[in-house]
């Protein structure tokens, strides 16, 4: 006698098929379906087809997109403390990052979303970012000087690359492949999975494993969608996340 109705949800990501981030979002949709007896269905839209990450946040606030996964640092315009996870060399290991994100700090970052029409449900793992470029192997910070480097559209990342001596070029991830191919940027920072599944390695010659930033991913939900759900449906969402 659970109070569960038929639902069809839109789930958005900038990542492409094959990327573990997409697999994670699909697993979440599968769990929603299983735990609701098939009533709560979710369709995953990949490759920024529902908009680039910042646009998707606005769509979620408006209630036209229900769920999304994106880098936690991209939430900084809404939740200021999300900028903390952008600080370079912040975590010594993945285990240290998990302990912080699953604890009070992670909860505080996601709690800041609610007054802005969003809910942070859980954290995914993007892994460590390292530097890539088309010019030279980077073995010391001086090698970065003068390079036109892609950065996420976040203040701490921009300041980090400026401190490295690079020219920081903020662009959405969905535009990175073309920007590298056309020479708009000469490099940037990405985790190994984006170099592989996002095919950034096809258009960037050198990859230097300096692990300068650990970047978590947030599974985010529209509060408008959440507020329409019954207590039983909310439990399905929370348990699935």
Q: Are 126 and 211 in contact (CB under 8 A)?
A: no
What percentage of the chain carries pLDDT values higher than 90? 93
What integer pLDDT is reported at residue 184 of this predicted model? Answer: 97
User: What pLDDT digit, counting tens, does each position of 31-81 carry?
Assistant: 999 999 999 999 999 999 999 999 999 999 999 999 999 999 999 999 999
Judged against a pLDDT cut of 70, whether residue 203 lies above it is answered with: yes
What integer pLDDT is reported at residue 2 of this predicted model? Answer: 85
Maximum distance among all alpha carbons in the chain? 65
pLDDT averaged over the chain? Answer: 95
| Best CA proximity match to 153, nearest among 72, 74, 59 | 74
| Best CA proximity match to 223, nearest among 60, 72, 106, 109 | 60
What integer pLDDT is reported at residue 1 of this predicted model? Answer: 65
Q: Average of pLDDT values for 13-40?
A: 95
Residue 119 pLDDT grade (very low, low, confident, very high; cuts 50, 70, 90)? very high
Give the Cα separation of 219 and 68 in Å (integer): 6
Q: Are 239 and 35 in contact (CB under 8 A)?
A: yes
Query: Which residues contact residue 55 at a Cβ distance below 8 angstroms, ignoring those fewer than 6 apart?
Result: none
User: What pLDDT digit, counting tens, does each position of 125-173 carry?
Assistant: 989 999 999 999 999 999 999 999 999 888 999 999 999 999 999 999 9
């Amino acid at each position: 006698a659970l109070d569960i109705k038929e639902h069809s949800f839109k789930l958005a990501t900038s990542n492409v098929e094959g990327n573990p981030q997409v697999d994670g979002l699909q697993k979440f949709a599968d769990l929603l379906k299983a735990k609701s007896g098939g009533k709560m269905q979710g369709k995953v839209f990949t490759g920024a087809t529902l908009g680039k990450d910042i646009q998707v946040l606005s769509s979620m606030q408006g209630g036209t997109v229900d769920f999304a996964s994106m880098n936690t640092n991209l939430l900084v315009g809404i939740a200021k403390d999300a900028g903390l996870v952008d600080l370079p060399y912040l975590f010594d290991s993945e285990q240290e990052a998990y302990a912080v994100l699953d604890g009070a700090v992670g909860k505080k970052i996601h709690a800041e979303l609610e007054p802005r029409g969003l809910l942070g449900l859980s954290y995914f793992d993007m892994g460590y970012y390292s530097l890539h470029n088309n010019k030279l192997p980077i073995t010391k910070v001086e090698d970065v000087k003068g390079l036109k480097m892609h950065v996420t559209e976040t203040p701490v990342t921009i300041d980090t690359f400026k401190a490295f001596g690079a020219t920081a070029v903020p662009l959405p991830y969905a535009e990175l492949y073309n920007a590298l191919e056309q020479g708009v940027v000469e490099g940037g920072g990405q985790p190994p999975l984006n170099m592989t599944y996002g095919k950034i390695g096809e258009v960037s010659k050198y990859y230097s494993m300096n692990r300068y930033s650990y970047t978590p991913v947030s599974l985010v939900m529209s509060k408008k969608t959440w507020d329409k759900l019954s207590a039983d449906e909310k439990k399905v969402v929370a348990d699935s996340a």
